Amino acid sequence: MKLFNLQLKQASPYLSYGVLVLFAIFCLFYAFYNGNNCASASVVPSDFCKRIGVTIINNGTNETYSPVRIPFNPQGMRSLNYVDNFGSQALSANNLNNVNYMSQSLSSSSSAGWWFVMPSLPTVTLKNMEFYVGNVNQTAWRDNGFYFYNNSTSTDDVITIPNNANFNLTDNFNLEADVVLTGTSGFTCPLGTPSADSGFIIDRWDSNTGYALGVECEQGVMYNFIQIQDTKVRASTSTFNNRYNLKGKYIAPDITLLVDDVSVATGTKASMSSYNSNITMGNGLRKVEILNAQISKNITTTNDIELRYNFDPTDVKELEALTPYYTGSILDVSNNNHHATYSLNRPQNYSITIASATGIGLQQLVDNPQADIQVVNTLSSGLAVVGNENSNFPFYPMLNSIATTSGLPRQMTFGGLFAVLAMIVSSIILLATRTIPLAIFSYGVVMYLGYLNNFYAIWYVLIIIFILVATYGSSKYLSEGF
């Protein structure tokens, strides 16, 4: 103690000032430190590392919910960690509003078209879109879907599934899809009955033979429907721009239409025959997104999935791009090899500029998002609760390796490492300022940072600070102190 006291007396005042300045910088850094090290705009979820700016000028007529093809190198996007192996970790936005898109050809090393659905594209007006990539917490999961734009002719957006005898269903089956309707603007919605503008999600029906599932518009009202032979069962819907599950069930003679597994309409048909042809998806669909589609048979017994399309970026592949015609393939994930092909007719009357990816977040002196993933536990979470560790903490890979291989409880390892760091920092503060309360405070700050980054529970910090304060207080009281 005498040696330490002598060192304190010989300490330069400049050292004291320097330590205080460094400590202030350290505190300011963590006061504004974004726990995930990367931020985004107000898109949900947040925390992205890069922003790719895209400008679009529509050289044609005014358009809404229009698909714009933007070429990316999917393999390059993956190698740069802009997207993961499933095409996630990326979101797009226009004026802080989410922009839906369909990615594809994820394993391709050449350019492939990713289709971004722009809600509004006025003629000769520059539109800015921001593509946020590199979600560091891998929480930006999105469900890739297939968007059908303007099917006014047979050469427009259509998916074709080659004919197969297993599609000859006459009883005990489901037709199912997850659907997003953008509204009625794409449909003509004619007046009168039975004149309806119909769009088919799953179609193996013609001339009152076969089966189909779809949506249609009549007199300004949208309907979901299932068609069995000459019997159509339908129910109106006002669910727009939100995902819902649409299912048509036929167990002779009963026909049931369900939305989100709730029956909305029923009908009967004593029996049915099969229409022997390809299955198509998209005929008549306008500005409708299909997130997945499935046909199941033997639903009252073995409930076998005959075909299913998830439209994941790994399942959809662009094969040919000759504006305005685009073709590609879609994998059937039911293991029955009902692989499909798609054809698109989408004139691209746009001028597009793609900027280089720029860093955001801490690289630009902390651009905190409005919607951030919190690394601080809520007060109601309990003293022993620990959230997800902040993997972007400086030297985290090294700390993680030590905690993993030490053989000790993980929180104990991190607690010990931060205790050593806190001891070093508080010793420097004590040496520079000769103030024990400030040294105890700096010790607590370092320990609290470990808690903020979810390396251990708050009780560990509180117990240590209590011991230090109690020891110092008792020593002062008993005049045995420092």
Q: Would you give per-residue pLDDT tens digits along the chain (482 residues)?
A: 444 444 444 555 545 555 555 555 555 554 444 444 444 334 443 467 788 999 999 999 999 999 999 999 998 888 888 888 888 888 888 877 889 999 999 988 888 899 999 999 999 989 999 898 887 666 677 889 999 998 666 568 999 999 999 999 999 999 999 999 998 888 888 776 557 889 999 999 999 999 999 999 998 899 999 999 999 999 999 999 999 999 999 999 999 999 999 999 999 999 999 999 999 999 999 999 999 999 999 999 999 999 999 999 999 999 999 989 999 999 999 999 999 999 999 999 999 999 988 776 443 433 333 333 332 333 333 444 445 677 667 777 777 778 777 777 777 888 888 888 888 988 888 888 878 888 888 888 888 888 887 788 887 788 888 888 888 777 776 665 44
DSSP three-state, residue 334: coil
Cα–Cα distance measured from residue 266 to residue 255, given in angstroms and rounded to the nearest whole number: 6
Cα–Cα distance measured from residue 129 to residue 118, given in angstroms and rounded to the nearest whole number: 9
Residue 146 contacts residue 102 (beta carbons within 8 Å): yes
Dihedral, CA of residue 346, residue 351, residue 356 and residue 358, to nearest 10:
-90
Cα–Cα distance measured from residue 428 to residue 443, given in angstroms and rounded to the nearest whole number: 11
The sign of the CA dihedral 206, 208, 210, 213 is positive
Cα–Cα distance measured from residue 267 to residue 271, given in angstroms and rounded to the nearest whole number: 12
Cα–Cα distance measured from residue 36 to residue 373, given in angstroms and rounded to the nearest whole number: 8
State both tokens at 368. 């905190």
- Among 44, 140, 161, 178, which Cα is nearest to 98's? 44
**Cα 170–chain centre separation:** 39
DSSP three-state, residue 178: strand
Strands (E), 323-436: 325-330, 340-345, 350-354, 358-359
Neighbours of 391 (CB within 10 A): 15
Q: Is 367 exposed, middle or buried (0-12, 13-18, 19+ CB in 10 A)?
A: middle
DSSP three-state, residue 375: coil
Neighbours of 36 (CB within 10 A): 25
- At which residue do the structure tokens 């669910």 appear? 239
Residue type, 125: T
Cα–Cα distance measured from residue 288 to residue 379, given in angstroms and rounded to the nearest whole number: 44
Cα–Cα distance measured from residue 174 to residue 261, given in angstroms and rounded to the nearest whole number: 12
Q: Is 194 exposed, middle or buried (0-12, 13-18, 19+ CB in 10 A)?
A: exposed
